[in-house]
Structure 1
């Protein structure tokens, strides 16, 4: 597996990976909520903006040049959270689950965040996303808070924020 910075050429593959992962993970969200959230969070224009954001770290894991997973983190969060960055997305094609792709992407994000001087990484996860919660817990993240997330259709869902501190 090769882990590399994502490019605009990866946008369609990133959308494919998200859609496939959501089909296996987000059954607790209605179809409408999934569709609206997908277009808001993973619309082509939004992804291209994120890819060009200096505060973003956007990586792709590729097998034989084809993306099978990606991770996106930002260092532009609440200024009161000194030294903290946030992982906004990490998804792997379900055919590649349990192969280490997700953990490798997470390590690569931590390395790049650390290179920018950050020592903490947080990750908000829907409470009902058992697979996501298990992934972060298995990778040394601790549960630090609960919050309610507003969705674009007017609904809300409970989320858990995970936290990991690492050394430079």
Structure 2
């Protein structure tokens, strides 16, 4: 396994991995919700734009030259969030779940954020995502908030916000 910074040429594979992981992790959502999310967040152009953001870190995991996971985090710029990053995405192809790829991506992101002077990472996840909540909890994230979030196609869902202090 190799963990490396994402490049523009990875965008289509990131989209593929995100789609597969979303379908598994958020199987409790209707397909129209998946489609709306991908039309809003995961076009190749949007993925490329996120990678170009100077306040963000996007890493990919490859095995045998195949992209099998990616993670994305941003440094928070709000005055009350100085020193904090937000893990916006960490997805691994479901065929590679529980192999350490997600943890390796998370570690790489934390190292890069620490190099920027950050010491904390928050991560929102839908409460019904057992794989998401288990992943964060197994990586020493602590649930600090429960809130209601709007879905793309109307309606709401409960969302947990996790927090993790790291030292890099």
Quick check: 135-144 or 41-50, which moved more? 41-50
CA-based RMSD: 1.0
For the residues of structure 2 that align with 1:27 and 1:120, how far apart are their CA atoms? 30
Q: Are the equivalent residues in 1 in contact too, given 2:76–2:83 (CA < 8 A)?
A: no
Q: Distance in 2 between matches of 1:144 and 1:105?
A: 22
- TM-score, normalisation: structure 1: 0.96
SS at match of 2:99: coil
> Counterpart of 2:39?
39
Residue aligning to 1:95: 95
1:4-153 aligned at under 5 Å gives the runs: 4-153=4-153
Matched, 1:159 2:159: yes
Corresponding residue SS for 1:28: coil
CA-to-aligned-CA distance 1:110-168 (integer Å, 9 cap, x gap)? 00000000000000000000110000000000000011111221221110000000125
Q: Give yes or no for contact 2:23–2:34 (8 Å, CA) kept in 1.
A: no
1:53-93 CA-partner distances (Å, limit 9, x unpaired) = 00010000011221100000000343311211000000001
Q: What's the TM-score once normalised by structure 2's chain length?
A: 0.96
Q: Distance in 1 between matches of 2:77 and 2:135?
A: 23
CA distance in 2, matches of 1:56, 1:9: 17
How far is 1:34 from its partner?
1.0
Q: What is the number of residues matched between the two proteins?
A: 168
